[in-house]
Chains A and B, each alone.
Chain A
Amino acid sequence: MILNGIITGLIMGGILSLPVLGVAVIYGITGIPNFAIGVIGVFGGFLTWYFLSFNMGIAILVGVVFCFAIGYIIQRILLTPISERGGDSTLFFIVTVSLGFVFEGLMRAIFPRPSISLALPRIGTINIAGVTVEGFKIFALLFALGTLVIIRLLEEHTEIGKSWQATSQNLKLAKLIGIKTNRVFSIASGIGCALACVGAIFWGSLYNLNLMTGWDLGFLGFIIAVVGGIGNIWGGIISALIMGMVMSFSGYLLGGMWQSVILYFIVILVLIVAPKGILGSERSL
């Protein structure tokens, strides 16, 4: 049971780490807490489901590209101008939650079904120390960890990554040396929303997606990022894996109803005891 719980927890945490990465990338670079990314990601998941009967690759691409574009546009026309006018975290909280309302409403209005499951091909099963695990779940976990490594490599070794770092560390200086900071912000927001979409696609394939999943993924993504130290990518991933295990074991021991209760309770405790998260935040809210 313990091994089963660990594996389930790691996989849950792995999938959750995608929206967490989205939150971390957006917040780490723009300094804006975006609470709508879960809903935008699930909107992308619904789009993928809609086009799935045509071609799987194109369907996934449509969802991910759409989310990137939405992330880019909302940052460009809404969030960056508010930030330039001196908007604080509370204002961004309200604006991004309102954006979430819009996308949740669009899902309700456009798509014929309120709850869907994405039928992606399965990869068979793998036996780990006597526990049979779906290959697709292992793929989801590896994909999440791979994405983290790619983002870290991008950040350290590419021009784009260096401009991200410069923008997040000193905005004025970054502008002075000619970095188009508004573009950097928009790309970061686009990547964050695209990551949330990939997370939603995995979630929709392993469990299901409904109109509220976006809020759950977004809020979970955000609180897990807070526990890890918001804006701190490594902290976010460690926190996602730990929280995945907390959900898995509390589910086994106390039943599914208590999963979220225990999770949120722990997060509130962390906020009270260590407000800057497990590994500390690279920015302060």
Chain B
Amino acid sequence: MKGRYEKIGTILILLLPSLFVFKGGYLQEVTGYVYLFLIQGYVAWFLFFKSGQPFFGYSVTMAIGAYATIVLTEMFQWPLFVSIFIGAVLATVIAVIMFLSTSRARGFYVSMASFLLAILFPKLIEALQPITGGRSGLYFGGLTALVGYKTLYLLVIFLTAAIVAFFLWIMGTKTGRILTLISENDRLTQTVGLNTRKYKILAYSIAGFISGFGGALYVNYTGFISSVDIEVFTTLYIFFIPLIGGSKVFYGPVLGALFVILIPELLVPVERYLRIFFGLIFILVIVLLPEGLAPNIQKLLRKMNPKRA
């Protein structure tokens, strides 16, 4: 019951910033940006932390969705929604290929292969400059031109909430429980007769599709993408979202996204010192609060209000 309230609470919190649409301006712009990364953060939460799959290619699947949308719409004149769908499907294919091709390797080697793909991909985008724009990037009107910025903002908020609701729902189903079992003990799950490979492919497919769709949404909202936006640090920041926020509670990634994406936006005047601040905070959280911020904030609140505990 408590878990259900936590899930409903998480979705309601996610819907709250839709009110910013009345205020508009910087607050609205930056909230939309945080939400676009929150989608990727929940993909990492689902695939890495809940399904136990050592994948680090989130910026790649996100970028495939984004670039496919622009290239198919602008260069091949495909309808926008078809391009977005194909972009998400392509990201799914890449994620599944990555899983299948590294299935002979174990643990950290799989992480490394996908992490190297995250290093390789922006370099590939730069090498393919005539098509992708390289570091100069590509501009895209997309959905903004179609429905307007405010409607798109609301769409981003509602779609993010829907995606998070989907992840929370799936983790409560039989499939979700099997994925949790795989993450806790892969061999034992096989021993009880479950086809773990099938479930892993399903996990990669879901993660790839939503990450690719999130990438397509990203480029529609920001109206621009370049190799700089998808450099290897993007994948690290996405991974840090559930890690810092706390992967054991449903709303952990929300807290993580506020921390990892919003704080740098607010600290632009002292950008020079940002990496020092971030590096130290990451180390301190990992060493002192390995469960992430959310569970510790919960504990702190319980201490402050012992009657509720």
Q: Interface on A for B, CB 8 Å cutoff? A: 33, 78, 82, 88-91, 93-95, 97-106, 108-109, 215, 219, 223, 226, 257-258, 260-261, 264-265, 267-268, 271-272, 275, 285
Contact = CB atoms under 8 A, between A and B. Distances in A.
Interface residues of B, number: 39
Contacts of B170: none
Interface in B86-129: 101-102, 104-109, 111-113, 116-117, 119-120, 123-124, 126-127, 129
Contact of B283 (A78, A106, A215, A258): A78
B282 A94 contact: yes
Nearest to B129: A257
15 contacts: A94-B243, A95-B282, A95-B286, A100-B279, A104-B275, A104-B279, A105-B278, A215-B232, A226-B112, A261-B127, A271-B112, A271-B113, A271-B116, A275-B109, A285-B108
B-side interface mostly? helix
A7 B239 CA distance: 40
A285 B54 CA distance: 13
B287 A78 contact: yes
Contacts of B106: 275
Contact of B287 (A82, A105, A272): A82
A105 B275 contact: yes
A271 B127 contact: no
A271 B109 contact: yes
B126 A272 contact: no
B116 A267 contact: yes
Contact of A101 (B108, B126, B282): B282
Contacts of B127: 257-258, 261
A275 B286 CA distance: 28
Interface in B232-258: 232, 236, 239-240, 243
A260 B102 CA distance: 21
Contacts of B275: 101-102, 104-105, 108
Given A102-B275, A257-B126, 12 more contacts: A33-B108, A93-B108, A95-B287, A101-B276, A101-B278, A104-B279, A109-B272, A226-B112, A258-B127, A261-B127, A268-B116, A272-B104
A91 to B, nearest CB: 7
Contacts of B286: 91, 94-95, 98
B252 to A, nearest CB: 16
Nearest to A220: B119
A33 to B, nearest CB: 8
Contact of A261 (B123, B243, B273, B277): B123
Contacts of A257: 123, 126-127, 129
Given A272-B104, A275-B105, A105 B274 contact: yes
Contact of B116 (A78, A88, A100, A264): A264
Nearest to A104: B275
